Amino acid sequence: MSGFEPSKIPKHRLSEVVPEPVCFAGSIQPHGVLLALSIPERVVVQVSANIQDYFDISPQDLLGRPLSVLLDETEIEAIDRELKHAGHLNKSSARINRDQQHFHITAYRTATAIVLELEPASIQLDARQMHARVNQAIAQLRRVPDLTEFLQTAAATVRGMTEFDRVMVYQFDSQGAGAVVAEAKRDDLPPYLGLHYPATDIPEPIRELYRRGLVRYIPDLSAPWVEFISTENSIAVQPLDLSSCVLRGVDPCCVEYHRNMGVAAILVIALVRGDTLWGLISCHHQTPKFIDGDVRESCQILGQLIASELANKVNTEELDELTRLRSLLTEFIQSIAEVDDLKQALVNPAPRLLDLVSAQGAAVCLEDEITRVGQTPSQDRIREIVDWIETQPSFPSSFSLPASAPDNVLFCTDSLPKIYQAAEAFKDSASGLLALQISKVRRYTILWFRPEVLQTVNWAGDPNTSLTVAADGSVTLCPRQSFDRWQEIVRFTSLPWKHCELENALNLRSAIVGIVLKGADELARVNQELERSNRELDSFAYAASHDLKEPLRGIHNYSNLLLRGYSEVLDDVGRSRLRTLTRLTRRMETLIDALLKFSRLGQAELNIHPTDLDRLLHQVLEELSIGRPHQQAEIRIPRSLPTVHCDSVLMRDVLVNLLSNALKYNDKSQRWIEIGYIESESETARQGPEASKNLHPEIFYVRDNGIGIRERHLDRIFSLFKRLHEQHLYGGGTGAGLTIAKKIIEHHGGRIWVESTDGEGSTFYFTLN
pLDDT for the residue 236: 47
Mean pLDDT for the chain overall: 76
pLDDT in tens, 116-135: 888 888 766 566 677 777 88
The answer, yes or no, to whether residue 10 has pLDDT greater than 50, is no
Strand duo 672-679 + 634-636: pairing: parallel
CA 69, 75, 76, 80: dihedral to nearest 10 degrees? -160
Give the C-alpha distances (Å, rounded to integers) separating 744 from 366, 384, 614, 683. Answer: 43, 52, 19, 20
- Among 125, 141, 107, smallest CA distance to 304 is for 141
Give the C-alpha distances (Å, rounded to integers) separating 421 from 382, 385, 390, 417, 708. Answer: 14, 11, 16, 5, 69
pLDDT for the residue 218: 93
pLDDT for the residue 182: 93
Between 495 and 584, where is the model more confident? 495
How open is the CA angle 417-419-423, to the nearest 5 degrees?
A: 30
pLDDT for the residue 664: 83
pLDDT in tens, 84-102: 765 433 344 455 655 667 7
The answer, yes or no, to whether residue 726 has pLDDT greater than 60, is no
- Among 4, 458, 3, smallest CA distance to 190 is for 458
Give the C-alpha distances (Å, rounded to integers) separating 193 from 110, 495, 685. Answer: 39, 22, 67
- Among 283, 286, 222, smallest CA distance to 255 is for 222
pLDDT for the residue 447: 92
Q: In 10 A of CB 569, how many CB atoms?
A: 11
pLDDT for the residue 595: 58
Across 540-544, 567-571, 601-605, 739-743, least confident range:
540-544
Pick the CATH number of 339-454+494-517 from 3.30.450.270, 1.10.260.40, 1.10.1050.10, 3.10.450.50: 3.30.450.270
CATH number of the structural domain 27-120? 3.30.450.20
pLDDT for the residue 321: 72
CATH number of the structural domain 606-766? 3.30.565.10
The answer, yes or no, to whether residue 721 has pLDDT greater than 80, is no
- Among 404, 5, 470, smallest CA distance to 198 is for 5
pLDDT in tens, 357-385: 888 899 988 877 888 988 999 999 999 99
The answer, yes or no, to whether residue 14 has pLDDT greater than 60, is no
pLDDT for the residue 612: 93
- The mean per-residue pLDDT over the stretch 674-703 comes to 63
Q: Do domains 539-600 and 606-766 have the same CATH topology?
A: no
Strand duo 44-48 + 33-38: pairing: antiparallel
SS3 336: helix
Q: Which residues pair with 468 in a beta bridge?
A: 476
Across 67-76, 323-332, 603-612, 688-697, least confident range:
688-697
SS3 290: coil
432 exposure class (CB count in 10 Å sphere: 0-12, 13-18, 19+):
buried
Between 587 and 306, where is the model more confident? 306
pLDDT for the residue 274: 78
Cis ω before 377 (30° cut-off from 0): no
- Among 31, 564, 551, 41, smallest CA distance to 310 is for 551
Q: Where are the domains of the chain?
A: 27-120, 339-454+494-517, 539-600, 606-766
pLDDT in tens, 634-649: 899 999 999 998 888 8
Cis ω before 417 (30° cut-off from 0): no
Task: Name 415's Cβ contacts closer than 8 Å, sequence gap at least 6.
Answer: 398, 431, 432, 492, 493, 494
Dihedral sign computed on CA atoms, order 254, 255, 257, 258: positive
pLDDT in tens, 35-44: 998 888 889 9
Between 526 and 698, where is the model more confident? 698
CATH number of the structural domain 539-600? 1.10.287
pLDDT for the residue 701: 94
pLDDT for the residue 720: 60
pLDDT for the residue 280: 93
**Predicted confidence band of residue 448 (pLDDT cuts 50, 70, 90):** very high
- Report d(CA 163, CA 178) in Å as an integer: 24
**Predicted confidence band of residue 77 (pLDDT cuts 50, 70, 90):** confident
pLDDT in tens, 392-428: 765 545 455 555 556 678 888 888 988 888 988 988 8
Q: What is the pTM of this model?
A: 0.53
Q: Please say whether the beta carbons of 114 and 128 come within 8 A.
A: no
From edge to edge, which strands make up the β-sheet containing 166-172? 215-218, 265-273, 276-285, 166-172, 178-185, 196-197, 455-460, 485-490
